[in-house]
Chains A and B, each alone.
Chain A
């Protein structure tokens, strides 16, 4: 089966950049995603990248994809307190999503 791994915790100072890393194993993944989950809430799609791209930027979010190493990262510029949440990376294959365990990002003043 597919495995998606990511670090569990990240603490960052307000205003700094956050970088969340993710690795996956399925080389046939078509899309890779970043989702945000706030406490007690569902998932919010932040951004996604097609597997033939290596970078995508969307306002404060930058996604980097190294397909050779199967490594995905999400950079959040100018991290704010509202960015505190759990961030999940996910890959899709055959329309199904496989999620990582989630990275809990804590933004400190």
Chain B
């Protein structure tokens, strides 16, 4: 089946620094990539949708200037948390519905990145 990787799997940073999370589709072309955030003991919440070659669409309440998304190629989408603060500490997960899919009969999730901001 399709594989999505994320890097890094875990990152600890100081408050005020920026952190980049990479999401790669390893064996398919990811036209669309979704970015989710999961706080402890809570559900996943969709943050934004990125489409290759165009600007990302952010969900209500998600600051686009703080969470920069770049989807410059069909196999790589990146999420940069700028000027991270402790409240940004969370589990960030990307997913893609796969290559050229017109509907989500399935989605492929990355393993997630745990961000801890001190």
Contacts and interface: CB of A to CB of B under 8 A. Distances in A.
Given A31-B103, A31-B105, A48-B106, A99 B44 contact: yes
A82 interface: no
Contacts of B97: 95
Interface in B56-107: 93, 95, 97, 103-107
Q: Is the interface of A mostly helix, strand, loop or mixed?
A: strand
B109 A42 contact: yes
B114 A97 contact: no
Contacts of B6: 42
Contact of B104 (A35, A41, A92, A99): A92
B43 A48 contact: no
B50 interface: no
A19 B112 CA distance: 27
Nearest to A4: B43
Contacts of A64: none
Contacts of A48: 105-106
A88 B107 CA distance: 14
Interface residues of A, number: 23
Contacts of B42: 101-102
A40 B114 contact: yes
Interface in B12-26: none
B112 A95 contact: no
B104 A102 contact: no
Contacts of B45: 99
22 contacts: A4-B43, A30-B103, A30-B104, A31-B105, A41-B112, A42-B6, A42-B109, A42-B110, A42-B112, A43-B93, A45-B107, A48-B105, A48-B106, A50-B105, A88-B43, A88-B44, A92-B107, A96-B46, A97-B104, A99-B43, A99-B45, A101-B43
Interface of B: 6, 32, 34, 42-46, 49, 93, 95, 97, 103-112, 114
